[in-house]
Amino acid sequence: MSPFFVSILALAAAADSLGGSPSSALFSGQKPATRVEAGWKGRQEADPLLPEEGSAEGKGIVDIRTLVRPDSRSAVFGRVRYEKGFKNGVQRNTSSDYDVVYPYVMADTLTGHVKRETYAFSGGYSRRYEAWHFGLEAGYRALHEWRETDPRPRNIVSDLSAGVSAGKKVSPDYVLDASLFYRRYAQSNSVSYFNPRGANTAQFHLTGLGTYFSRFSGTIPSYLYTRYAGNGATLGLMLFPLTEKGWRAAVRYRILDNIHYLPNLNETPYTELITQDAHLSAEYAGGSWRAGADVQVQLRSGLEHVLDNGIAGAYNSLLCFHMYDGAFYEARIHGAYRAGRHWQFSSAASYRGLSEQYAYPGRRFALSAVRASAGTRYSFAARAWRFRTGLAAHGVLPVSARATGYEEPRLRRFSAAVLGLDAGFLAERPVWRSISGFARVGLHYDTLNAVYYSITIGIQL
């Protein structure tokens, strides 16, 4: 299962951005500013939809974003982010970035407390030359996760991306932009046993829908160190208006080819995961209202190698089989209306689902659901203070659900009808000259007894 399917509505949204292109800052309409935030985000689930991601999570965050406009034709932007926190109740997963490497993860039979730390930074530059524009952007993310009780996984992620964009003004009101990104992904997993009694718990190399490599399972040191190496690309095409009104459309395709190795067995590749994402969106803004639609599809293809006995010290691939297929999709329509200076109303409806199958032994997991949401936001000022409150409700109604040979209990959990409520509050005021301070809180609760919350304070200058 994928976090794509169980994602929740985030009311405390980040700054408005066209996104997806280094040239976006040129046309976003955002004023030059530096924003510094610090806060805490948490999650608590009584019966988690994804036990692999734990039943509870908490992390402290420091986030700094800046936008500088040296002149009317250029923009420089950057971001630095640091996170430190934990996950509790993690089951059947000792790898990091579950949403990237699933279904090829390592796992054990214990429930773990995982500590984690993330560093990330990105930056770019874009400029216009008459009707043409160009942009450059690069970013890097490092993640370290570990556990302090046996078995003790230690995972290190390195995620690098770099891209360029170019485009042209195609009419007095519209700009067309194309972007291309390259991605280099790496993750290393190593598991240690400090207490010999901990060796009673084996490590399993999962392959999807309850299957695993029995040959490499156990506590043999050669099987307890793995790594992922991935190469990917993103191609995007965007059309957006130069004014507040008009059409905005985008199409994006992304691919990541991730190969899984056993470094202690002569760097033997034993699985390969090819992930493809496609996103198509269109929206029209008419001043006080806007409406749009988008479609997202993710396809995952898993390949597995049959290795020889390694008598000569080199484990060679004899055959490679296509064993796993996963499809995750969502089609959504949405709209919003601003009534005067204070009120804004929004709504959305979507059809979403997933389908997974494993070739042998034959297993399948599939479900679909309809989701609808409606919310309102009220903004007002009192002397130097500015406030914004938001409230939204959403519901998920299952349409179909089926499991063959695997995960009937999880199927019942995923196929339950859900009602949820989101609330958010923002307070902001000037503190000195051009510097303003703000505080923001957000809360989510649903009938599956899942609670998400965030508390943030910061300054903008």
Tell which wins on pLDDT, 251 or 243: 251
Quick check: 421 and 431 in contact, CB under 8 A? no
The pLDDT confidence band at residue 9, using thresholds 50, 70 and 90, is very low
Block residue for tokens 């951005």: 17
* Strand ranges in 147-208 using DSSP code E only, listed in sequence order: 152-169, 174-192, 204-208
Residue 197 — very low, low, confident or very high, per pLDDT cuts 50/70/90? low
Q: Which residue has the higher pLDDT, 219 or 185?
A: 185
Average pLDDT over residues 422-438: 94
The structure's pTM equals 0.92
Q: Is residue 79 within 8 Å of residue 121, measured between CB atoms?
A: yes
* Whether 351 contacts 396, CB under 8 Å: no
Alpha-carbon torsion (244, 173, 66, 82), positive or negative:
positive
Please report, as a single letter, which amino acid is at residue 170.
V
What confidence score (pLDDT) does residue 199 get?
Answer: 62
What pLDDT is stored for residue 187 in this prediction?
A: 98
Asked whether residue 279 carries a pLDDT value surpassing 70, the answer given is yes
pLDDT for 240: 86
Reported confidence tier of residue 198, pLDDT bands at 50, 70, 90: low
Query: Residue 76: pLDDT above 90?
Result: yes
Residue 6 has pLDDT above 50, yes or no: no
Least confident of 1-10, 34-43, 65-74, 318-327: 1-10
Q: Which two tokens stand for residue 85?
A: 């926190």
pLDDT bucket at 459, cuts 50 / 70 / 90: very high
At 148, give phi and psi (nearest 5°).
Answer: -105, 15
- Which residues are 400's β-sheet partners? 368
Q: Quick one: average pLDDT of 251-268?
A: 94
Residue range 347-352: mean pLDDT, rounded: 97
In whole angstroms, give the CA distance from residue 69 to residue 75. 5
Nearest to 7 by CA among 127, 119, 99: 99
| DSSP structure class, residue 25 | H
pLDDT at 109: 86
Please report the pLDDT score of residue 219 as a whole number: 86
Residue 232 to residue 153: CA distance in whole angstroms: 26
Q: Per-residue pLDDT tens for 117-155?
A: 999 999 999 999 989 999 999 999 999 999 988 889 999
Average pLDDT, whole number, for the chain?
90
Q: How far is CA 307 from CA 154, 268, 310, 365, in A?
A: 26, 9, 8, 28
Quick one: pLDDT at residue 20?
78
Under DSSP, the state recorded for 198 is G
pLDDT in tens, 378-412: 999 998 999 999 999 999 999 998 888 766 677 77
Query: What does the pLDDT look like over 37-60, one tens digit per residue?
Result: 999 999 999 888 889 999 999 999
- pLDDT at residue 174, as a whole number: 94
Q: For residue 286, what are its two tokens?
A: 């008419």
pLDDT band at 17 (very low <50, low <70, confident <90, very high): very low
Query: What whole-number distance in Å separates Cα of residue 63 and Cα of residue 42?
Result: 16
379-386 long-range contacts (CB < 8 A, ≥24 apart) are 379/341, 379/342, 379/344, 380/342, 384/429, 384/430, 385/427, 385/428, 385/429, 386/427, 386/428, 386/429
pLDDT in tens, 293-334: 999 999 999 999 998 887 776 788 889 999 999 999 999 999
- Per-residue pLDDT band at 5 (split at 50, 70, 90): very low
Burial 260-288 (b: 16+ CB within 10 A, else e): bbbeebeebbbbbbbbebebebebebeee
Residue of 283, 271, 95, 114 lying closest to 190 (CA atoms): 95
pLDDT at 7 over 80: no
